[in-house]
Amino acid sequence: MRLAAIGFDADDTLWHNEPAYATTEQKFEEMLSRYRPVEEIRQRLYEIETRNLKHFGYGVKGFVLSMIETAIELTGGKITGAEIQQLIDMGRQMLESPVELLPHVETVLHSLAVRYPLLLITKGDLLDQETKIARSGLADLFTHIEIVVEKTPEVYANILARHNIPPERFLMVGNSLRSDVLPVRAIGGLAVHIPYRVTWQHEVVNPEGVTYYKLSHIGELPGFVHRLERGEVEER
């Protein structure tokens, strides 16, 4: 079997992303620690973030709005204007921070782009994702770039149909089982999971009964693709 195309997630697959959220969340917890226990702050922020996804979507802007809402609620409205400004400044710093590629990414993409159409399929805020892609220096390596609100089987199916890619000859590579593996397997595609060292709670799922491939890091991908096409690897 020869693959028709390879898709890549962006955040925490091609470049670091989640650590910036973790660092900002820690600062947020320190700010509110005089009002509530840290564990309560962390849990309530997650609950509000999850509830707000349908309104604000994924990304830094929704994260900042959720921090502000959480702060107002947990402090009983005592959070100051100056502290809210600090939260806004934290978000702005996240949006302006450099894009740091993961090891092997540039070499792997250059290698694979010679043989396959590459798709970048990422979810989040349009402006934030567009600017990160531009700052990454990787944009020219992708045949198609898709920025979506959510990654569902329907979304993947529509993308592949639009580009005339048979699902059974499509391989998706990403760090999230929820977003990059399960929906692709649901439409008959192939998926490689490359875990990142930090995973947002919302992306953690139980893939019981679903088979997929797993690599330790993206540097293993070219060799894996070669073996896959030769029928030398098995899903697990």
Under 8 Å between Cβ of 138 and 114: no
What does the longest C-alpha to C-alpha distance in the chain come to?
63
pLDDT tens digit sequence for 144-173:
999 999 999 999 999 999 999 999 999 999
- Confidence at 201, pLDDT banded by 50, 70, 90: low
- The pLDDT, as a whole number, for residue 83 is 95
Question: Contact at 8 Å (CB) between 170 and 190?
Answer: yes
190: pLDDT confidence band, cut at 50, 70 and 90?
A: very high
Which pLDDT value is given to residue 236? Answer: 67
Q: What percent of the chain has pLDDT over 90?
A: 85
In this prediction the pTM is 0.90
What are 75-110's pLDDT values in tens digits?
Answer: 999 999 999 999 999 999 999 989 999 999 999 999
The predicted pLDDT at position 100 comes to: 96
Q: Are 207 and 182 in contact (CB under 8 A)?
A: yes
Please report where in the chains the tokens 């349009």 appear, as a residue. 126
For the chain, list the domains and their CATH numbers.
5-16+100-229 (3.40.50.1000), 18-96 (1.10.150.240)
- State the Cα–Cα distance between residues 56 and 40, nearest whole angstrom: 23
What per-residue confidence (pLDDT) applies to 202? 61
**pLDDT value for 215:** 96
Alpha carbon distance 47, 66 (integer Å): 9
Calculate mean pLDDT across residues 191-216. 83
- Please give the share of the chain, as a percent, with pLDDT higher than 70: 97
Report the distance separating Cα 180 and Cα 156, nearest Å.
Answer: 10
pLDDT surpassing 80 at residue 199: no
Confidence of residue 200 (pLDDT cuts 50, 70, 90): low
Residue, of 129 and 235, whose pLDDT is higher: 129
Q: In which band, very low, low, confident or very high, does the pLDDT at 33 lie, cut at 50, 70 and 90?
A: very high
Calculate the alpha carbon distances from 157 to 16, 145, 164 in Å. 27, 15, 10
